[in-house]
């Protein structure tokens, strides 16, 4: 087979470790110069391919590429842009393949969540029928940890660590002042419809009475009376109540506690504002002094407190994706497989994209305590290994030193504009 170039793109919300996957892809491709030529990266994700804005990663030095391993966010740019179905917009897929063909791209590495797994699969299928076969490999990434067929998703472990450390620290803060000041503290975290991130907050509680005392999961219907009763009990018992609330917390009828009323480009509802909503309930019904925090992007960008396990796995799925491509695979995802032993171990496996695309993996009910406010030992066993280890970035003058890329766009070969 003639040597082909590769295309790599970052999709959807970025994470503290998605660049570690990029690092894994590029470094591994550079080790396979016999089968892979250049690695182009999509400028702002898949949009970059549609616009024929391909960043030539060969222009970046080995040390810059190595620094991606400890750099948060999407270094090449990402986007929330879901390709429509083949029926709705076949032209988009054809454009993609046209761009790939023009740049002799035979490998497509798509680094994202469920939506990008779907795109990846379609590109793989359509390229066959169009007579320009492209090996499409999906590299998992999502802080929400909601992809199926992988034990966990790169990006999640670091958010999990951030949330667990943050609620532990803030909990100590509140505990030390609750006698005369704030009695209720609420930390709102990400996760959409899956409570994985909120659940990770539970790792902070190591002894009876430790924060968090209440976790609100999207999987458990919110019951205001029950919630307020528990808050009151905690304040009476421990002097304060620390709460981790998922942005996706919802009532029994499926309506969100805080629905901003807008949707993103994928058609997902934009969530946010659970913490102030809960705080208002606490003030109105219990009259307790409260504080709340909304970490928002801080949590998924917090490379400074990344999980070493997460960083290693993010790199490993990028590396494995390239190795799978070189081995002739297509339409698969590089998945993380947990070892069976009592001691945590993991390896990389592969999962067929047909079974990955558009499936949302929620928390098993037995990960949540019967009362719906905490995590079980089973959840703890699953979550704890994912936040293991610290992987600090280098610092200079007190600040982390993150990669700065040149991002040189390869000369265009098509003289057609494509509007996205």
Per CB under 8 A, contacts with its own copies among 386-415 are 387-390, 392, 395, 397-400, 402, 404
How far, in whole angstroms, is CA 351 from its chain's centroid? 18
Binding of residue 150 to its own copies (CB under 8 A)? no
One of 288, 305, 324, 363 touching its own copies (CB under 8 A): 305
Question: Measuring CA to CA, which residue among 4, 36, 310 is closest to residue 159?
Answer: 310
Binding of residue 80 to its own copies (CB under 8 A)? yes
3-state secondary structure at position 160? helix
One of 159, 164, 234, 278 touching its own copies (CB under 8 A): 164
Q: At 46, phi and psi to the nearest 5?
A: -65, -25
Binding of residue 72 to its own copies (CB under 8 A)? yes
Q: CA separation (Å) from 298 to 43, 151, 163, 250, 302?
A: 23, 25, 10, 23, 6
Binding of residue 75 to its own copies (CB under 8 A)? yes
Binding of residue 267 to its own copies (CB under 8 A)? no
One of 73, 152, 277, 330 touching its own copies (CB under 8 A): 73
Binding of residue 291 to its own copies (CB under 8 A)? yes
Output the smallest distance, CB 14 to its own copies, in A: 5
Q: How many CB atoms lie within 10 A of CB 66?
A: 14
One of 20, 29, 187, 231 touching its own copies (CB under 8 A): 187
144 annotated among ligand-binding-site residues = yes
CA distance 2 to 104: 10
206 annotated among ligand-binding-site residues = no
Which CB sits closer to its own copies, 156 or 353? 156
190 annotated among ligand-binding-site residues = yes
Q: In terms of residues, how long is the chain? A: 420
The one catalytic residue among 118, 144, 146, 310: 144
Between 18-30 and 308-326, two packed helices, what is the crossing angle to 10 degrees?
40
Binding of residue 81 to its own copies (CB under 8 A)? yes
How far, in whole angstroms, is CA 418 from its chain's centroid? 29
- Only one of the segments 30-38, 58-66, 176-184, 324-332 lies at the binding site for its own copies (rule: CB under 8 A); that segment is 176-184
Output the smallest distance, CB 10 to its own copies, in A: 8
Binding of residue 265 to its own copies (CB under 8 A)? yes
13 annotated among ligand-binding-site residues = yes
Query: Does the active-site annotation cover 371?
Result: no
Query: How would DSSP label each residue in 228-289?
Result: HHHHHHHHHHHS-EEEEEETT-BBTTS-BSSEEEEE-TTSPEEE--HHHHHHHHIIIII---
Number of residues that bind its own copies (CB under 8 A): 73
One of 5, 10, 116, 142 touching its own copies (CB under 8 A): 10
Find out whether 117 and 17 touch, Cβ atoms under 8 Å: no
191 annotated among ligand-binding-site residues = yes
Which CB sits closer to its own copies, 302 or 324? 302
Output the smallest distance, CB 293 to its own copies, in A: 4
Binding of residue 44 to its own copies (CB under 8 A)? yes
Binding of residue 349 to its own copies (CB under 8 A)? no
CA distance 386 to 145: 11
- Contacts of its own copies in 204-223 (CB under 8 A): 204, 206-207
What residues are paired with 216 via a beta bridge?
245
Output the smallest distance, CB 416 to its own copies, in A: 20
CA distance 115 to 106: 21
247 annotated among ligand-binding-site residues = yes
Question: Measuring CA to CA, which residue among 85, 106, 110, 137 is closest to residue 18?
Answer: 110
What is the maximum alpha-carbon separation in the chain? 73
CA distance 129 to 364: 39
Binding of residue 29 to its own copies (CB under 8 A)? no
Binding-site residues sit at 13, 142-144, 190-192, 247, 297-300
Catalytic residue numbers, as ranges: 144
């Amino acid at each position: 087979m003639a040597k082909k170039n590769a295309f790599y793109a970052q999709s959807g919300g970025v994470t503290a470790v998605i660049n570690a996957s990029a690092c894994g892809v590029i470094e591994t491709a550079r080790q396979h110069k016999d089968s892979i030529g250049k690695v182009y990266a999509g400028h702002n994700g898949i949009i970059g391919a549609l616009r024929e804005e391909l960043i030539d990663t060969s222009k970046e030095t080995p040390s810059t590429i190595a620094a991606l391993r400890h750099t948060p966010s999407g270094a090449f740019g990402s986007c929330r842009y879901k390709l429509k179905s083949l029926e709705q917009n076949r032209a988009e897929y054809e454009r993609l393949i046209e761009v790939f063909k023009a740049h002799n791209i035979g490998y497509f590495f798509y680094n994202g969540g469920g939506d990008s797994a779907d795109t990846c699969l379609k590109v793989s299928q359509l390229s066959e029928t169009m007579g320009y076969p492209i090996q499409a490999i999906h590299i998992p990434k999502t802080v929400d940890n909601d992809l199926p067929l992988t034990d966990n998703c790169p990006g999640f472990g670091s958010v999990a660590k951030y949330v667990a450390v943050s609620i532990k620290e803030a909990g100590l803060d509140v505990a030390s002042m609750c006698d005369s000041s704030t009695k209720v503290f609420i930390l709102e975290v990400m996760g959409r419809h899956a409570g994985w991130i909120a659940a990770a907050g539970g790792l902070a509680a190591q002894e009876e009475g430790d924060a968090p005392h209440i976790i609100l999961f999207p999987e458990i219907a919110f019951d205001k009376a029950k919630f307020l009763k528990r808050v009151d009990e905690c304040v009476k018992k421990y002097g304060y109540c620390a709460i981790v609330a998922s942005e996706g917390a919802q009532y029994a009828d499926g309506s969100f506690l805080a629905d901003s009323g807008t949707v993103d480009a994928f058609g997902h509802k934009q969530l946010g504002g659970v913490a102030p909503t809960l705080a208002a309930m606490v003030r109105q019904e219990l009259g307790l002094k409260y504080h709340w925090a909304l970490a928002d992007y801080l949590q998924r960008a917090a490379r400074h407190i990344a999980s070493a396990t997460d960083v290693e796995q993010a790199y490993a799925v990028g590396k494995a994706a390239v190795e799978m491509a070189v081995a002739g695979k297509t339409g698969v995802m590089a998945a993380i497989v947990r070892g069976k032993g009592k001691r945590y171990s993991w390896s990389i496996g592969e999962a067929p994209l047909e079974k990955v695309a558009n499936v949302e993996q929620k928390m098993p009910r037995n990960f949540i305590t019967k009362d719906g406010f905490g995590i079980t030992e089973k959840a703890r066993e699953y979550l704890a290994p994912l936040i293991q280890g610290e992987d600090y970035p280098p610092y200079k003058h007190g600040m982390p030193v993150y990669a700065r890329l040149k991002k040189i766009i390869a000369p265009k070969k098509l003289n057609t504009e494509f509007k996205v």
